[in-house]
Structure 1
Amino acid sequence: MWVSLALLALGVVAAVAAPRLLARADWPEREPIVALWVWQCVVAAVLLSFALSMTFSAAAAWQAVRGHVFAPAPQAVVEAYGLADHAPWSAVLAALLACGGLWTAAMLTRVVRRARARRRRRRAELLVRAPLLPGEEPGSEPLVLLEGDRPDAWWLPGAAPRLVITTAALRRLKGRQLDAVLAHEQGHARARHDWLLHCASALAEGFPRIPVFAAFHAEMHRLVELAADDAASKRYGRLTTALALVGLNEDRGVFGPYPAAPDAQLPQRVNRLLTAAPRLTPGHRLRLTAAATLAPAVPLLVALAPGLRALN
């Protein structure tokens, strides 16, 4: 049973320590795409630790589960895990972790359903403001132009993602600035940031007191915007992208002393584009990516260690 406890402890330590370590690092803002991958790997490692701990606890508590989990394994491997001498709390631990997994699935389902309802509502509103012309099919046009006095542009995810832009944005933004805004929204669509945000929201709502999930949710909202900014700036330049963000949002009071909460990060995003901090070297990016990719392998190694020793 020590394997189950070790996996549980590993998950708890990672859930507490990882957000603190990443908060101290100064490179995520310079490499948001790498940071997105690192965060996903850390959360995957935490979830995998809990899932494996649940599996071994259930195998120790119930013979039926043990028979399925260790069906192809030699007897020496089964004995190496000490499952026969299970503690009375193994069933309780397995049940608690299983409830956590079911709760996570329920939260994800709720978040996805809520997002789909919101998307249907926005598509219905869009159809009212921009009715289809004769012969047009719903969702056939990837770009929708709306009459509006407020400069705005957004990406509407779904089976057929659509980019929506208002006429005020066309009047406000010229040439490459408009192209940069569209490239920003296309960056969201290509990377399917909506699913990443769904998962982050589900974990944060389901387990608000677990530091790694709360930090994961907050960082995803910030990093996906930085990654989309970089996607636009690579094609049209940092200055053009920064001017486009300012032009699109200058009438919303974002750049005053007390910016509105949803747009509070816009001044930092513009400043980041204008200061142009140097990127990490390719070797550094590769090392960070490789180290993050190996993070989910740690709980697997802990889980397999007794069996591998028994086989040797």
Structure 2
Amino acid sequence: MMVPAVLLMLGVLTAVAAPRLIARADWTDREPVVALWAWQCAVAAVLLCCALSMTLSAAAAWQAVRGPVFAPAPRGVVDAYALGATGPWAAATAVALACAGLWSGAMLVREIVRARTRRRTRRTELRLRAPLLPGEEAAAGRLVVLEGKRPDAWWLPGAAPQLVVTTAALQRLKGRQLDAVLAHEQGHAQARHDWLLHCSAALAVGFPQVPVFAAFRYEMHRLVELAADDMASRRFGRLTTALALVELNEDRGVFGPAPTPQAHVPQRVHRLLTPPDRLTAARRLRLTATASLVPVIPVLVALVPGLRALG
């Protein structure tokens, strides 16, 4: 049975080729939402290849797995997969891939637990620095103003998400710039970008030797900011959004010659001030459809022997 081996090779090929193809594309910064979807589809295809290869290898190695997997299939379909003509590698492959899957799940759980712990700590600090007044109730979307010398603003997700702004930011942000910052952070919340960051971080930390997962995490952090910038700029204008970014980050040295953790901010400001032409709706649809087909390929590969038997 060669299907599990083919699926593994397809997974390796996707992991190597997909990041290079996306990196060479000239539309990722122009259409960050489409790029986010393309990355998710590529990583999903890699994970599907591993999951399907594990399932078929386990079915070949153990009758207890083969029965439930092929229970509704006709006898000819089962024979087409040649499950009995396998060597000892089937059990080893299934166990190795199962361990990798469990490790991925454990890394995701750890990432979520750590994120919730950080969020709980920040909420505790927020309650201490900005306690509710008598009769006041916490509300979703509530704007919280903190006394602070550094201009800053961030969105605190949770059951009652809140936008936190420092007094220095209120002094810096003029006109509709505060509205643009709010729209940017709301864009993160509405698109659930925190889940994308959690999943990409879990894969990158769990498998640091796999380049596609490291690239996935890096691109998620970059593209979610571009997507949120676009959401804010569509409502309040690119100039207003760019000025808000400058006002919030000017004192952090991000516009100087030395690299900083926020080195991507100048590129974001330049992108807002010199907006590239968006792709046509038809091309965006084609790119989205093409990316959506990538995870379907492993499923078709896994079904080829059965479809041939039925045909």
TM-score range, shorter chain: over 0.9
- 8 A contact 1:29–1:226 mirrored in 2: yes
Between the aligned partners of 1:62 and 1:151, the Cα distance in structure 2 is 61
Q: Deviations over 1:104-151 (max 9, x none)?
A: 000000000000000010001111110111123345562211111111
Q: Equivalent residue for 2:296?
A: 297
Between the aligned partners of 1:306 and 1:205, the Cα distance in structure 2 is 36
Between the aligned partners of 2:299 and 2:96, the Cα distance in structure 1 is 21
Q: Equivalent residue for 1:117?
A: 117
Q: Is the partner of 1:131 in helix, strand or coil?
A: coil
Q: Equivalent residue for 1:310?
A: 309
Where do residues 256-271 of structure 1 align in structure 2 (5 Å cutoff)? 256-261=256-261, 263-271=262-270
Q: Is the partner of 2:86 in helix, strand or coil?
A: coil
Q: Equivalent residue for 1:205?
A: 205
Shift of 1:13: 0.8
Q: Deviations over 1:123-182 (max 9, x none)?
A: 011111101111233455622111111111001111221111111111111111111111
Between the aligned partners of 2:148 and 2:185, the Cα distance in structure 1 is 19
Do structure 1's residue 94 and structure 2's residue 94 form an aligned pair? yes
Between the aligned partners of 2:160 and 2:186, the Cα distance in structure 1 is 13
Q: Equivalent residue for 1:156?
A: 156
Between the aligned partners of 1:100 and 1:127, the Cα distance in structure 2 is 40
Shift of 1:86: 1.3
Q: Equivalent residue for 1:64?
A: 64
Amino acid at match of 1:162: Q
Give the length in aligned residue pairs: 311
Between the aligned partners of 1:141 and 1:193, the Cα distance in structure 2 is 17
Identical positions, percent: 73
Amino acid at match of 2:77: V
Amino acid at match of 1:196: L
- 8 A contact 2:187–2:228 mirrored in 1: yes
- 8 A contact 1:16–1:210 mirrored in 2: no
Between the aligned partners of 2:266 and 2:172, the Cα distance in structure 1 is 19
Between the aligned partners of 2:60 and 2:220, the Cα distance in structure 1 is 37
Between the aligned partners of 2:38 and 2:147, the Cα distance in structure 1 is 41
Shift of 1:255: 0.4
Structure 1, unmatched stretches of 5+, are none
Q: Is the partner of 1:154 in helix, strand or coil?
A: strand
Between the aligned partners of 2:175 and 2:156, the Cα distance in structure 1 is 23
RMSD: 1.0
Q: Equivalent residue for 1:243?
A: 243
User: Please, what TM-score do these two structures have when normalized by structure 1?
Assistant: 0.98
Q: Equivalent residue for 1:279?
A: 278
Structure 2, unmatched stretches of 5+, are none
Between the aligned partners of 1:92 and 1:159, the Cα distance in structure 2 is 44
